[in-house]
Structure 1
Amino acid sequence: MRERLLETADRLFYAEGIHAVGIDRVIAESGVSKSTMYAHFRTKEDLVAEYLHRRSDTMRVRVTREVEAREQMPVKGRILSVFDVLHEVISEPGFRGCAFANAAAEYPHHEKVQEAVARDRAWLPALFSRLLDPLGAQDDLLVAALVQVYDGANAAAHLDRSKASAHTARKTAELLLAAREQ
């Protein structure tokens, strides 16, 4: 039941916006009772936070799998694979931008939602840092730049309806990494 609620919330919140979808609709479309919903999630915001955790975990697993599949590649190739995954994501039907940027805009002051957003915002810089560390190239500025390039591609894909934004971001990341090597 909990999983059915989360799947329904994920589909509706991402496609239509969190505030646009009422809790009664999530309950109705998931086919669970109101009491079941509230047994798993005390408030809509609890459901929203868990929806965001689930989205973050899914993306993290997807990116990590791709990076690990390139374990024999140089670090540069592993970092660039993150942008390859982003391209796959933005090319999927129904792409509507970054769920975390959307949620942060809809819930700028809700603590649980902001914590879920912050949790998601921490994993990508940590991944880039971990990948760069074996090179002895630990560079907070480079990590921040790579994250901003990623974020920019995500936003451009949605706002500009640009299917090429991840490719542009990948090329920009290549330039950043090449400049660091010099």
Structure 2
Amino acid sequence: MTKEVNLSSRSLKRDEMIKYAYELFYKNGFHATGVDAIIQGTGISKRTLYKHFASKEGLILASIDYYHQTMYTVIFNYLQKYDSKKPVEKALKIFDFLSMHVDAGKQYGCFAMNAKNEYANKAMEIETACDAYVQALQELIERYLKEGNLEDSKSLSMQVMMLFEGAIIRSKGLGNSHPIKLAKAAAELICNQ
């Protein structure tokens, strides 16, 4: 019983560090956020941090995984609740989801894209983790496009993702959702040809 409590306690500490680091990384960036800020904010010792993560990059990878699991689930559930007989419309609701978040003031961009940009050509594991998130979203879109019987749904889903990623970057830079609405209109055009 004591061993289970210790494992549970360690798991809770690990989760707490990941969530706190995720918030700091998202708000301040990865290079601008030092391990000391995470330690100070969580009250966990440096020794404890490094017992759970071999390096800051290990903590970043865990944060990307946390984002991947959490955000994918939220997006999937958002798209699933949309009641439409047209799967293509359901796929393109991903732009509405993004607009809703940007309009609510969540303008930090995509956590995975931010990490990939900061670690481009510097940390292959981080880039791979970021690519896995984008790939999962693309496959979700592709699934809906296939259900809509669109030809070459693989290529179309890649194009939709490119528009989605571009919309994230532009909306972050402009601080509004207008680029997202434009990207959705372009996605509708390519999907309805």
TM-score for both structures, normalised by structure 2? 0.86
The question of whether the paired residues in 2 share the 8 Å contact of 1:62 and 1:85 is answered with no
Larger deviation, residues 26-35 vs 164-173: 164-173
Greater Rg over alpha carbons, structure: 2
What pairs with 1:143-182 in structure 2 (closer than 5 Å)? 143-179=157-193
- Unaligned runs of 5+ residues in structure 1 are none
The question of whether the paired residues in 1 share the 8 Å contact of 2:98 and 2:180 is answered with yes
What amino acid does structure 1 have at the position aligned with 2:68?
A: S
Q: Tell me the secondary structure at the aligned position of residue 96 of structure 1.
A: coil
Cα deviations across residues 24-72 of structure 1 (Å, max 9, x unaligned)? 1111101212222112111100000111111122211111001111254
Partner residue in 2 for 1:103: 115
The question of whether the paired residues in 1 share the 8 Å contact of 2:88 and 2:148 is answered with no
Gap change, CA 1:75 and 1:114, over 3 Å in 2: same
* 2:142 corresponds to 1:129: yes
Residue 8 of structure 1, aligned match among 5, 9, 20? 20
Partner residue in 1 for 2:92: 80
The question of whether the paired residues in 1 share the 8 Å contact of 2:87 and 2:145 is answered with yes
Residue 52 of structure 2, aligned match among 28, 40, 44? 40
Q: Structure 2: how far apart are the matches of 1:52 and 1:102?
A: 10
The question of whether the paired residues in 1 share the 8 Å contact of 2:64 and 2:111 is answered with yes
TM-score for both structures, normalised by structure 1? 0.90
The question of whether the paired residues in 1 share the 8 Å contact of 2:88 and 2:191 is answered with yes
The question of whether the paired residues in 1 share the 8 Å contact of 2:64 and 2:129 is answered with yes
Q: Aligned-residue CA RMSD in angstroms?
A: 1.6
What amino acid does structure 2 have at the position aligned with 1:162?
A: N
Q: Structure 1: how far apart are the matches of 2:123 and 2:104?
A: 30
Cα deviations across residues 124-173 of structure 1 (Å, max 9, x unaligned)? 21011111112332413211211111011101011222322222222222
The question of whether the paired residues in 2 share the 8 Å contact of 1:46 and 1:112 is answered with no
- Unaligned runs of 5+ residues in structure 2 are 1-12
CA shift, 1:20, in A, is: 0.5
Q: Runs of at least 4 residues of structure 1 off by over 6 A?
A: none
What amino acid does structure 1 have at the position aligned with 2:48?
A: T
